[in-house]
Amino acid sequence: MPRQLVLATHNPHKVEEFQAIVAATRPDLEVVGYDGPEPVEDGVTFAENALIKARAASLHTGLPALADDSGICVDALGGAPGAFSAYWAGHAKDAAANTALLLDQLSDIRDPHRTAQFVSTIALVAPDGPEHVVEGRWQGRLALAPAGADGFGYDPVFVPDGQEPGAERTVGEWTAEEKNAASHRARAFRALVPLLAEL
């Protein structure tokens, strides 16, 4: 029977994404969703908030817990929204409103100054073990307008680096398989894999 890890989120999109990423590299592990209380994320960095969530989920379930805190960091905005990406347009966590506000703030900025990166920080907390934090970054730039209906959050406005000129797509236009192989979360999880041996 697979060893279970609880993912400290109530976001079903993140659970699905992590299940696919983990299954590709560690099929002996099963990622399960979290149904416990949501802690107050009062950290000001991705790492602080990831640890807050992982500690709460591990304490509540008794299982090793993973928590991802992620967002988009825009160079022209000094790295903002950063750890405040989910709340950029207010506490409602409205992805469409967050995206619209970000694009409005960059409305006078043109390439090559629309550079940005997705950042994922993953914390691993075991009930009786050490705590680990790893990070993955995905470089790209912001599109002028959303494109694509797949993904979630800022995916429809993020254009990853490394695509063929003239055939570039936002992550909102990528398949789930493409995203799960290249994303900031996939990169962070690859950094975490050696640490999972401690469980």
**Residues labelled catalytic:** 69
- 70 marked among binding-site residues: yes
Q: Which residues on adjacent β-strands are paired with residue 74? A: 116
Neighbour count for residue 145 (Cβ, 10 Å) = 10
- 155 marked among binding-site residues: yes
- 184 marked among binding-site residues: yes
For residues 13 and 152, the answer to whether their CB atoms sit within 8 Å is yes
- 152 marked among binding-site residues: yes
Cα separation, 91 vs 171, whole angstroms: 25
- Give residues with Cβ within 8 angstroms of 149, minimum separation 6: 156, 172
Cα separation, 143 vs 103, whole angstroms: 8
- 60 marked among binding-site residues: no
For tokens 């000001």, name the residue: 44
- 14 marked among binding-site residues: yes
Cα separation, 16 vs 21, whole angstroms: 9
- 93 marked among binding-site residues: no
- 179 marked among binding-site residues: yes
Q: Which amino acids are annotated as binding site, given as ranges? A: 9-14, 69-70, 152-155, 179, 184-185
Q: Which amino acids are annotated as binding site for substrate, given as ranges? A: 9-14, 70, 152-155, 179, 184-185
